[in-house]
Amino acid sequence: GQSLEQPSEVTAVEGAIVQINCTYQTSGFYGLSWYQQHDGGAPTFLSYNALDGLEETGRFSSFLSRSDSYGYLLLQELQMKDSASYFCAAFTGGGNKLTFGTGTQLKVEL
Amino acid sequence: NAGVMQNPRHLVRRRGQEARLRCSPMKGHSHVYWYRQLPEEGLKFMVYLQKENIIDESGMPKERFSAEFPKEGPSILRIQQVVRGDSAAYFCASSPQGGRTEAFFGQGTRLTVV
């Protein structure tokens, strides 16, 4: 089956850097995406890695290592508004089924 | 360009009734996904559809649940004879044809079964 595992909760202080890890076991892996969800609202897309390496988008960066079946989301200069749930997700099984990870609740403190 | 539209936003049904959840994808998107989310939990894949076709329904319960995406009109997730355990947030997402990068989500439908 498909599984993407994440830590359930991460806490960090405002202005700090935090890394949220994702390890996956999937078939037909095409790439890894990251989504943010505030208070049960609509998940919003943050980034996508099709190839190994680091992708940077403003304060957020995402990394993928296919050989290790591992990726992470890096958030820099944390702000209170970054407190949310973060999900990794993978297109699998032919490339169009998007499977989500277990989710990480990020709490940013003063 | 309107985003993914789901309605209703909130739906209350008595046990045994039917629930119909609607999803209009973004313009030009022909791929639709449905997910279920319980409080404090992740997004569980239910079904993936393209126009007039169910591509993957591996996450759908075998009974009482069905989904369609007709040639015209929104995608519909239908739950027959609802039970309390069906209470959850149901999210719809759409992506462009052949897209493997980003899926756009609607605001979800919160179903409460009383």
What is the residue-wise DSSP string for chain B? Answer: ----EEE-SEEEE-TT--EEEEEEPPTTEEEEEEEEE-TTS-EEEEEEEETTEEEE-TTS-SSSEEEE--SSS-EEEEE-S--GGG-EEEEEEEEETT--S--EE---EEEEE-
Q: What is the pLDDT of residue B60?
A: 94
As a whole number, mean pLDDT of residues B63-76 equals 95
Residue with tokens 């830590």: A7
Q: What local confidence, expressed as pLDDT, does residue B34 receive?
A: 96
Reduced to 3 states (helix: H, G, I; strand: E, B; else coil), residue A18 is: strand
Of all residues in chain A, what percent carry a pLDDT higher than 70? 95
* Token code pair at residue B92: 């719809």
Using CA atoms, how far apart are residues B104 and B72, in angstroms rounded to an integer?
20
Residue A92: is its pLDDT beyond 80? no
Average pLDDT, chain A: 92
Among A27-41, A64-78, B42-56, name the most confident range.
A64-78
pLDDT of residue A46: 94
Tokens of A95: 């490339």
Look at B91 and A42 and tell me if their CB atoms are within 8 Å.
yes
- CA dist., res. B106 & res. B89, Å (int): 11
Phi, psi of A11 (to 5 degrees): -125, 135
CA distance B38 to A9: 17
**Residue A14: count of CB within 10 angstroms of its CB:** 13
- Whether residue A43 and residue B33 make contact (CB cut-off 8 A), yes or no, is no
For residue A105, give the chain B residue with the closest CA. Answer: B40
Show the tokens assigned to B90: 């149901």
Residues of B in contact with A45 (CB under 8 A): 102-104
Q: Which of residues 51-90 of A touch B (CB under 8 A)?
A: 87
The nearest CA of chain A is from the CA of B111 a distance in Å of 13
Determine the pLDDT at residue A87: 96
pLDDT number for residue B1: 53
Q: Per-residue pLDDT averaged across A38-57, rounded?
A: 92
- pLDDT at position A96 is 66
Tokens of A41: 């609202």
pLDDT band at residue B100 under the 50/70/90 scheme: low
Is 60 exceeded by the pLDDT of residue A53? Answer: yes
Collapsing DSSP to helix, strand or coil, A81 comes out as helix
